[in-house]
Amino acid sequence: MTVAHPLPTEWQFWVIQIKWEGKNRNFEIEPIVGFKTVEDFWNNFMQFPPIGEIKKGGISLFKKGIKPAWEDPKNENGQAVTISLSVWTQELWEKIILAIVGGSIDDVIKEPELCGMYAKVNQIGLSVALWFGPGELNVNALAEVLSLDPAVLQVKAHPKN
C-alpha cells in the first residue's frame, strides 16, 4: 500500500481561454483537475507540456474554492505580482509551482493570502502572476522565497468591481 503525502493546502488547476468578440475580450475559465497530495500533484503536473511548448492560452493554479477571477471574494481588492523575465526555463517554472503548492510562500507570507497563480502565453511570451488577497505585501520576502531579484516583481491591484 502506497502512503500519500498530503499538501498543506488543496489546489485546483484551471484552463483559461481568451476569446475575442470584436473589441471585447471574454474569458472562458474551466477547472481541469484538483489535488491534495504530492503524488496527485506530480501525476497531474507531468501531463502538462513543458512551459516552453505552450503556444497560446493560459493555465491557473488556485487554492481549492477560489476561482481565478477578480470577482471571486478571496481575490476582491487583492493584487497580482507579475514576474517579468525575458527568458523562462522549465526549472524556474517548476520552482515557482513547487513554492506555491509546497507552502513555501504561505510559510513566509502570512498576509495577504496567496490565492493562486495565472500563467498565460501571448505574442510577447510567457507572463506569470501570483494572485494575493487584500493587504500589504512584502515583495522583498516574496522575491527571497522565489530566489528572484525584487526588481522583476511588479505589483498591481486587481480592478475594482
- Examine the pLDDT at 10 and tell me if it is beyond 80: yes
What is the chain's Cα-based Rg?
15
Q: What is the pLDDT of residues 19-35, one digit of tens each?
A: 778 888 777 889 999 99
The answer to whether 131 and 109 have CB atoms below 8 angstroms apart is no
Range of weakest confidence among 17-26, 83-92, 94-103, 151-160: 17-26
Question: Cα dihedral sign for 65, 9, 141, 44?
Answer: negative
Indicate the residue type of 118.
Y
CB 50 within 8 A of CB 94: no
pLDDT at 18 over 80: no
Mean pLDDT of 27-53: 91
Look at residue 1 in the predicted model and tell me its pLDDT.
Answer: 65
Domain boundaries, the chain: 6-157
Residue 12 pLDDT > 80, yes or no? yes
Average pLDDT, the chain: 90
pTM given for the model: 0.91
To which residue does cell 522565497 refer?
145
CB 111 within 8 A of CB 55: no
Nine-digit cell string for 95: 520552482
Residues forming beta bridges with residue 81, ordered by sequence position:
130, 155
For range 4-33, the mean pLDDT: 88
* CATH number of this structure's domain 6-157: 3.30.760.10
Residues 110-148: tens digit of each pLDDT: 899 999 999 987 777 788 999 999 999 999 999 999 999
Strand order, beta sheet including 125-132: 24-37, 6-21, 57-63, 114-122, 125-132, 79-83, 153-157
User: Given this model, what pLDDT does residue 94 score?
Assistant: 94
